[in-house]
């Protein structure tokens, strides 16, 4: 995909998606970190159903760590992999307290050292909480990048590398949310809604459909 086409693609997405931001509910970087850990293999909707009560009762790393795994689990049991996630949340809070003065670190290496935090989660925190120009590649972005010809790759990491090469600098901060929201509501996995797609003229997938 040509550089001019990519710039046009993001201009169109930005005009259509007025709020290029996460749909997870959070009030600070700590709440975002916990919400993103919980969102692994779960929908934002399901996470948003459990985090308000969790954060209302345990709003800090100290309080979650003191509460322990069982009490955290009682709040998040409706989402997937809840037992493992409760362990990771409590263990993450312990590390935040012990090594980071109860603050969410701003370095990738320190984020990825936290239980339940991989590269994608670290990228989400860096981008959403701290405004870093990085792209977290989830299933939606991996699918879209390959489908439309934006940045193809066989692995999530390769797609991320290719996106960082081709996405214009001015769009890097918002690219993650623009792509994920487009994938969530328009360029869906099984039935992409090409009839409602604002970037259909730039999409290589749509070219094949209408040949």
Which positions are catalytic? 120, 138
Q: What are phi and psi of 201, to 5 degrees?
A: -70, -25
Note the pLDDT of residue 208.
Answer: 58
Q: How far apart are CA 211 and CA 208, in angstroms?
A: 5
Note the pLDDT of residue 205.
Answer: 82
Angle (CA) 74-77-81 rounded to 5° is 135
Q: How far apart are CA 206 and CA 211, in angstroms?
A: 9
Domains and CATH numbers, the chain: 3-20+135-209 (1.10.1670.10), 29-129 (1.10.340.30)
> How confident is the chain (211 residues) per 10-residue block, as mean pLDDT?
95 95 97 97 96 98 98 96 98 98 97 97 97 96 96 97 97 97 95 94 74 41
- pTM of the entire predicted model: 0.92
Q: Are 14 and 178 in contact (CB under 8 A)?
A: yes
Note the pLDDT of residue 211.
Answer: 41
Q: Are 110 and 25 in contact (CB under 8 A)?
A: no
- Residue 123 makes CB contacts below 8 A (sequence gap 6+) with 108, 134, 135, 136, 137, 160, 176
């Amino acid at each position: 995909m040509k550089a001019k086409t990519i710039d046009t693609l993001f201009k169109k997405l930005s005009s259509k998606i007025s709020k290029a931001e996460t749909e997870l509910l959070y009030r600070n970087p700590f709440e975002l970190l916990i919400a993103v850990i919980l969102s692994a293999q779960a929908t934002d909707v399901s996470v948003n159903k459990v985090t308000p009560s969790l954060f209302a009762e345990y709003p800090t790393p100290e309080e979650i760590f003191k509460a322990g795994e069982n009490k955290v689990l009682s709040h998040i049991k409706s989402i997937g992999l809840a037992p493992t996630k409760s362990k990771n949340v409590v263990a993450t809070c312990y590390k935040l307290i012990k090594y980071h003065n109860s603050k969410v670190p701003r370095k990738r290496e320190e984020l990825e050292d936290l239980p339940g935090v991989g590269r994608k989660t670290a990228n989400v925190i860096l981008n959403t909480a701290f405004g870093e120009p990085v792209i977290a590649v989830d299933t939606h972005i991996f699918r879209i990048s390959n489908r439309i010809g934006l940045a193809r790759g066989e692995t999530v990491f390769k797609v991320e590398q290719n996106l960082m090469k081709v996405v214009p600098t001015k769009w890097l901060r918002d690219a993650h949310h623009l792509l994920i929201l487009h994938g969530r509501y328009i360029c869906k996995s099984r039935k992409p809604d090409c009839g409602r797609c604002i970037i259909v003229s730039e999409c290589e997938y749509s070219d094949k459909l209408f040949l």
